Chain A
Amino acid sequence: MEILEFENVSVVYPGNVEALKKVSLTIKEGEFVVIVGLSGAGKSTLLRTVNRLVEPTEGIIRIGGRDITKLNKKELKKMRAQIGMIFQNFNLVNRSRVVRNVLAGRLSYVPTWRTMLGMFPLKDKEIALSALERVRIGEKANVRADHLSGGQQQRVGIARALAQQPQIILADEPVASLDPPTSHAVMKDLRRINKEDNITTLVNLHFIDLAQEYGERIIGLRDGELVFDGPASEVDEGVFEEIYGRSITDDDLRGGTQVAPREEG
């Protein structure tokens, strides 16, 4: 079943910068899609139109068959509650404890008077803690976020998204700030959660080896245009060179071993 549809979606930023040009695509429930392209190709814009952190200038985006471009503020919040997002720089509150960062994923499900008093229902606390368990850092719940390593911080980011119990997870360059072994560990986590919970997952990556290894389906963007869409098995270096518009260099590879179940303290 289609969960996400793009129909001729364009985004024009102020100054007449065309970030997305008439992109149309359909994503099925439970798919693990990797979006590749050079920086500036429109990957981040594409991802952010899904939860309307970026407003599409033109076109229609449907989630579960419903056009989300016309939602009012309240409907938009409700829709966003069902979409988890993971960021390159983790976007955690460094001074807050891990569990508080994860509970932030429950904010939109808990009445505001409760969140203002910090009185989360037991059920929501349990959801947050079990989200941490899912990414194997349950024991870090009461540690300040900035006392964790980069890989652990990104797993807190994943736990925060998981705490939303989302239908869709958007991951914007989730491993760009991490070293190779940690990158593989985080990609494995994303893939595992996608399989176990059947959460449709869209991941932006610029490392082609990671895209090939973890992607089921690969979407290629170049200068805001969709230039490739197909299963990862059909993708070889030639396809990437086509997407990137140049030959592939070492910088396009994350490299590193894949074996890193517990890469750091």
Chain B
Amino acid sequence: MKINWQLFRRIVNLAVILGVIIWSMEGMNINLERIARGIPSIGNIIKLMFPPDMDFFSRSLSAMMESIQIAVIGTTIAAILAFPISFLSAAKIGVPFSVVFLAKQILNAIRTFPELILGIFFVASYGPGPLAGVMAIGINSIGMLGKLNSEIVETIDRGPIEALEASGSNRAEVFLYAIFPQVLPQFLATALYRFELNLRAATVLGLVGAGGIGVILLQSLQFRRWPVVGMSLLIIIVVVTIIDYTSAYIRKRIT
């Protein structure tokens, strides 16, 4: 009898995926009954958050501003540090293979550290406060920015480079006149996108003491002051939404 290998492979794949899911659920002792039982509590907590504590409006808002500042400075630092690496890790623009390989490995290594771990690390080394948040975001974002930017560099039109080389321009001129103008708008767009992600990270980083609105969240959660939690969450949601839309609009305009 002829074995249908394709069918066999499909069955094996499906069995493996199902196996992993069942293993995960068993390990956490999750079942539908427990999930259903928690739903009323969720509703209760949300009810407790309303009305949000207006006394905390200005404190929450200014803490949110700090989160924005952490995200702005962190993203800026990351964009600056990622800039040279974006080119060093790009194949096909004349950088030696060994350099490209090394730069790519560095970017990969940076990306393996979660923000919160970096946050804890920098809170430990710089003490609690926004500087630790800036450092965590600044270092963490280099990985993604460097990777996305180097992909942008790899897809540029080589035509202008050839044209300038043919006219006797030197490497610096080829970079500034043929490469840079092609990548700049897209670099800015990735930085803005990363800023949107970093703003979310900056709101959470306070939970490990790294400044911003997360600090208020942490304290009010610890003492179960739900109306304050409600106020903070409300501000996070509104501000993040506004900034997301603005940033997306700008990204669309510049690319």
Contacts and interface: CB of A to CB of B under 8 A. Distances in A.
A89 B160 CA distance: 10
B177 A85 contact: no
B167 A81 contact: yes
Q: In which size bucket is the chain B interface?
A: 20 to 34
Contacts of A96: 177, 181
Contacts of A77: 168-170
A208 B164 CA distance: 30
A193 to B, nearest CB: 16
A80 B168 contact: yes
Given A90-B159, A95-B181, A53 B166 contact: yes
A115 B168 CA distance: 13
Nearest to B164: A104
Given A112-B172, A115-B173, A116-B172, A80 B166 contact: yes
A84 B164 CA distance: 10
Interface residues of A, number: 34
Nearest to A77: B168
Nearest to B160: A93
B176 interface: yes
A94 B157 contact: yes
Interface in B160-209: 160, 162-170, 172-173, 176-178, 181-182, 185
Contacts of A105: 167
Question: A93, A100, A104, A105: which has the most chain B beta carbons within 10 Å?
Answer: A93
Q: Is the interface of B mostly helix, strand, loop or mixed?
A: helix
Pick from B162, B172, B173, B177 the residue with the most CB of A within 10 Å.
Answer: B177
Interface string B151-163: 0000001011011
Given A104-B177, A107-B177, A91 B163 contact: yes
A129 interface: no
A49 interface: no
B218 to A, nearest CB: 45
A152 interface: no
A108 B178 contact: no
A78 B16 CA distance: 65
Contacts of A240: none
Contacts of B173: 107-108, 112, 115-116
B167 A87 contact: no
Interface string A160-186: 110010000010000000000000000
A147 to B, nearest CB: 15
A79 interface: yes
A41 interface: no
Contact of A107 (B162, B169, B182, B185): B169
24 contacts: A53-B162, A53-B165, A53-B166, A76-B168, A79-B168, A81-B167, A82-B168, A84-B167, A85-B167, A87-B162, A87-B163, A92-B160, A93-B177, A95-B182, A104-B164, A107-B164, A107-B168, A108-B170, A112-B172, A115-B173, A115-B176, A115-B177, A116-B176, A170-B166
Interface of B: 157, 159-160, 162-170, 172-173, 176-178, 181-182, 185
Interface of A: 51, 53, 76-85, 87, 89-96, 100, 104-105, 107-108, 112, 115-116, 157, 160-161, 164, 170
Closest 4 A-B residue pairs measured CB to CB? A91-B159, A80-B168, A108-B168, A81-B168
